[in-house]
Structure 1
């Protein structure tokens, strides 16, 4: 079982990644440099300043977090010229305990990105100081059905008032108690469910719910906290979830452990659904479902795409044609089996002008009939292969993500109407769908 330190670290990483997506377009990617940012972090009594994480955001990567020394001073080095949002996070200490301060960006109040710090080439930018204030806390008791490991449940406080720039997580202890720390004054809705980052893939069979309500954000009872307030007694009792399980059969050569089963709500009361990775023996179990009707989709994970055609239980690739699976509260529904067919592939070579990184080109194939399809990144040698396609007609689009090339369809220009459709047979391999991309005209 993962340690509390590991879980606390994963929570911090989750918060950082939420903001990275917003910053990628805000800060230009650059190589490492010789600039630096330094300053002093001041914290309330009782807070360990050495456990505060100072993070300089540098798209498309995040500079590794730096921790202040015991006197609160810190220095982040290796920065090229640029403009950097600087975040001060209530990071976990060695025991997975976050410090109870309100996280914030330099020049801000806890909401938004604050004031970016401009660093010239080789500049040592000093005086980037911050004073962190004591956070509010929300705490209580989580009660779970017999057989459920309550320490794998987490409490997540979502801000309603805009004072918190991300969800705040609190791991539940083995006795069922939890505390969410570092909250700005405001109003929150508190969700209880499986821990958001679970590297072992083990999920507890409980129905996620909000304090004072069900699985719906809208039905939750808001919890208001003043600055620095300790709000206790936010207790919750969780119910046993329903499960849907079965076996996935795949063609020879396909890694079934890279297939995912996703239960999508298909009727009133089903909540948000659930998902599960398929095991190496082909078995899967989706847990934590409220009573309701679901349609199950089976497909390949993006990290290691397998050449199978995604499909719904009892149907094809269409949600409308799927067979609903109905579960009662706490019911274990078995035998929801599916056989996946080998997919067709489309492959080719992309040629780009000198100086353009061809690996930044993305290729997508869209079905002329259903609107579905697949996609693939271009490899460094210019080749690409789109896998997992159902038989049919496709239009293939080549787009340069942030590159100076003109995006276009195979056999045409940037218009879908002018594209040349390509046909693939069931399980067929269509090669030679090549394209030459040109530079966009200067503006």
Structure 2
């Protein structure tokens, strides 16, 4: 028995030593770690962040992957090799091992903050990988960049709640909030984009939810510049990251309870906020999202967008509205997962038309590489929303010409006339990349903007 008592501490020490030898901490300032979102990098060994949707990404050799992170009562989605793997609840823990049995090949991990707490900041110390290993070069960062500005709808407030009541058990709201399943997270994924999501539940453009006056002292615009929400007044450096598109979804809290702000207050503050966005990002496109249904909020946002385009000479400001059929079965009558999918569908279509984007990775590699590269037998051009095709080879002139989208789906077909010509009407098509041809003529592509 005495021998057992003497050996146990020694055995535990060996276990602890083996653990230290098994995994090595790659520090947070390793250049092979990608960061997406608002990170305070003042101390590069301890980056801090707290806006929902912030993402850490790296490529590593198996079998081990984990992280060292301090964040009180937060939830993270862990994605490995492009697929959701697990949810991590931080609590008071600092060291997390996600996997210990991966294959020795190179893998990619993404750590996405899904919960929302503006009064607590995370501190990231680095990634655990197998001892003796180093990180691989990181994935190329997506070319497209989108900034989302909004309230609880953008944050994914209680989106995973099984019903509208998430007060019990305690902590259910925190657990079921998931920015990655909000329309903002879904659109980021669909367009293979980088995104910064700056969302504050309960915040309005002028008046926050439940405020007793028409104007709140701290509406969303007062929080917009902050790197760490309510934790610090330190300001974000807008020159460090410029989006192609800013999506603004603010107004639900202004009008969901009374007293509502005067129309002039909401419209005036919204215009001033757009001016701030343009000051930060000259020439950026701005999508203003409305609740729809022709209510006061919807009428005001339509007027704002119209005035921006026609009076204030901002042609890149455009409008979209929530679709019909939203059920709001998430926590506290918020959009559910299915609601967010519906909204993302509408906004995706709008963005495709206005930005001429398609839902494929814009890697710079021609999509036509998937098809036969023979261009000598076919030519074409778009004139007034008509894709005009000329087949130059007599033996191919009677072959059916197909119109494809970037996913290879056949949208239409034509048999050229005696002159080898045919055309496709693109008037009802979304902006994007289209191909015409067949395996005998080869393929020709066009970028169409509707």
> Per the shorter chain, which TM-score range?
0.3 to 0.5
Could you state the TM-score of these two structures normalised by the residue count of structure 1? 0.32
More RCO (CA 8 Å, sep 6+): 2
Could you state the TM-score of these two structures normalised by the residue count of structure 2? 0.32
